[in-house]
């Protein structure tokens, strides 16, 4: 495989369609990792401009997070399930399905139903196709792929605009990253693994490898925390624009392991020594 193809998101890992300002082949490649740009989801600035304008003069991050929670509750009727159309007599009860439940579900099981919804959302918004969910998804006729489809469809069925909730979560995360860390384009994060073969290795180098990560991944800012999850620790420079969630964005959520949720693609990774 030549250098150019190693730097580019493989065809099997991308969709020609997405809902943001850059195509998957660009945002999923090494060049984007090294020289990132802002990613903007379609229509978000227009639809929710009043909210972001309202928090512009709030200097306390905790208060902005509180405003975000209140806005989500109001926008998606999270505290008024009956007005959102939920029926307590329905056979499938989905009233508790919201963005917070998805985040907590990911924490407990990155191959569960909530995780499948998150991975499907990444694929639909950024064009980064899910590579692994309870197994490799390379075979569209395989058992793992069928289970992945069943999981995300079950997670989205009779739910309260979960994909739109995640659109707003990502947009708020990006707003807060720029607001709190205005000059920071990259985060040096860590991930514990047992074998590099857990990923699709596209090229080996003297001091790094180029690997294809799943379309959504957990990372930590702590080497020690990452080391709990594997015998080897990978070090990755993650663009701020590829972060869906960072510790402290929403106090009390994903606090236990200080997780970052990171969009995938092709990355240069190094082994932490």
Q: What interhelical angle do 162-180 and 143-156 show, nearest 10?
A: 90
Strands 186-193 and 200-204: unpaired
Q: Which residues contact 251 (CB under 8 A, 6 or more apart)?
A: 62, 65
Distance separating alpha carbons of residues 120 and 108, to the nearest angstrom: 18
For the entire predicted model, the pTM comes to 0.92
N-terminal to C-terminal alpha carbon distance within the chain:
28
Distance separating alpha carbons of residues 208 and 210, to the nearest angstrom: 7
How does pLDDT run along the chain (273 residues), one tens digit per residue? 455 568 999 999 999 999 999 999 999 999 999 999 999 999 888 889 999 999 999 999 999 999 999 999 999 999 866 554 455 555 545 556 899 999 999 999 999 999 999 999 999 999 999 999 999 999 999 999 999 999 999 999 878 899 999 999 999 999 999 999 999 999 999 999 887 777 889 998 777 899 999 999 999 999 988 888 888 899 999 999 999 999 999 987 766 668 999 999 999 999 876
């Amino acid at each position: 495989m030549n250098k150019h193809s190693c730097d580019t998101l493989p065809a099997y890992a991308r969709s020609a369609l997405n809902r943001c300002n850059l195509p998957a082949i660009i945002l999923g490649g090494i060049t984007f990792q090294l020289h990132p740009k802002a990613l903007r989801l379609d229509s978000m600035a227009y639809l929710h401009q009043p909210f972001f304008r309202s928090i512009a003069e709030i200097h306390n991050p905790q208060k902005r997070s509180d405003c975000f929670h209140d806005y989500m509750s109001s926008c998606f009727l999270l505290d008024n399930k009956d007005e959102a159309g939920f029926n307590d007599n329905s056979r499938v009860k989905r009233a508790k399905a919201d963005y917070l439940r998805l985040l907590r579900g990911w924490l407990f099981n990155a191959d569960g139903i909530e995780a499948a919804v998150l991975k499907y959302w990444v694929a639909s918004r950024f064009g980064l196709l899910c590579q692994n969910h309870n197994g490799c998804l390379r075979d569209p006729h395989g058992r793992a792929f069928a289970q992945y489809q069943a999981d995300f469809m079950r997670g989205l069925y009779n739910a309260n605009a979960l994909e739109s909730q995640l659109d707003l979560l990502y947009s708020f995360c990006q707003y807060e990253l720029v607001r709190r860390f205005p000059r920071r384009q990259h985060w040096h994060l860590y991930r514990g693994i047992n074998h590099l073969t857990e990923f699709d290795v596209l090229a080996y180098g003297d001091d790094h490898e180029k690997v294809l990560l799943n379309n959504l991944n957990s990372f930590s800012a702590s080497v020690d925390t990452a080391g709990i999850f594997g015998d080897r620790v990978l070090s990755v420079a993650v663009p701020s624009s590829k972060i869906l969630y960072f510790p402290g964005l929403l106090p009390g959520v994903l606090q236990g392991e200080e997780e970052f949720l990171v969009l995938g693609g092709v990355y240069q990774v190094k082994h932490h020594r």
